[in-house]
Structure 1
């Protein structure tokens, strides 16, 4: 397995994984992911298997805001060059590759980029059942998020780096 920055040629495989991991109210659109690949060109990673197939991805903007806001899903913010906070919009793994540590490895690779670019923290929102996974990866539950994305209850998770 290897990690690469996402490119538009990865879009179809990214969308397949997105639709397998999120319901229709939560999942991002093709247009939204095209914008993310273009705008988050330094903070959109894909994990690829030996046949160069995308098996997972992680993406999000580096911004001055500490936590993800719902409006960021509608219009992807530009990345700050240095500093700020690294947010994670999405981390998703192909169902055939779940449970193999790929999500943790993607988080680790993402943290390397955040440290290189002198971010203060990494933060994301997640559903309650995903909290233990993020805690295992060094994130702290900061409480219920001010979000109604997909009409779900979300929790802010943060890791100071």
Structure 2
């Protein structure tokens, strides 16, 4: 019987996270182990992990900021994180290839959305490739068109999920 839990990351997870990141993205797009280490040292609470025992199945990471749009400088500069930020940026949605297409990323994304809502933020922002627009639209993200991002020399769409004012 599997027992999956959602938790935040610690520095002990760094090697496993870097290995999954390298499996999920081409080298030009993947966060380096140094970038992940920097992110973990500043905002470990902005890393959500779906794990089964010691096995990390999927993870989502990003940071919070008052800047409304996701820009390339955010990926490698952890100092831009603002703990009181209005927007939860999503830098990566990674699932170990052995566990892909089983709903794990969806389970984790729902948890991230719920935590972001509970934190009183305005919403979430991410960029994705054209083929993933429909996946994120299922969670209520709106496609805002092509992003200014040139990360990895790829065309990215900026997607935003805005919470309605209570």
Q: CA deviation at 1:143?
A: 0.4
Q: Deviations over 1:111-135 (max 9, x none)?
A: 1221122110101000111111101
Tell me what 1:134 maps to. 136
Maintained 8 Å contact 1:147/1:154:
yes
Whole-Å separation in 2 of the counterparts to 1:80 and 1:116? 17
Task: State how far apart, in whole Å, the 2-side matches of 1:85 and 1:13 are.
Answer: 27
Structure 2: gaps (5+ residues): none
Distance 2:77 2:19 in 1: 21
RMSD over aligned Cα atoms: 1.2
Instruction: Give unpaired runs (5+ residues) of structure 1.
Output: none
Deviations along 1:22-59, one digit per CA (max 9) or x if unpaired, are: 0010001111001111111221111101x321111001
Cα deviations by residue, 1:63-88 (Å, 9 ceiling, x for unpaired): 00112100111212454333511110
1:16 corresponds in structure 2 to 19
Q: How many residues align?
A: 160
Question: Could you say which residue in structure 2 is the equivalent of 1:33?
Answer: 36
Bigger shift: residues 75-84 or 24-33: 75-84
The equivalent of 1:61 in structure 2 is: 63
* Corresponding residue of 1:3: 6
* Rounded Cα–Cα distance in structure 1 between residues aligned with 2:149 and 2:129: 11
Contact in 2 for aligned 1:40/1:59 (Cα 8 Å)? no
The more displaced of 122-131 and 81-90 is 81-90
Q: Give the whole-Å Cα distance in 2 for the aligned partners of 1:81 and 1:89.
A: 16
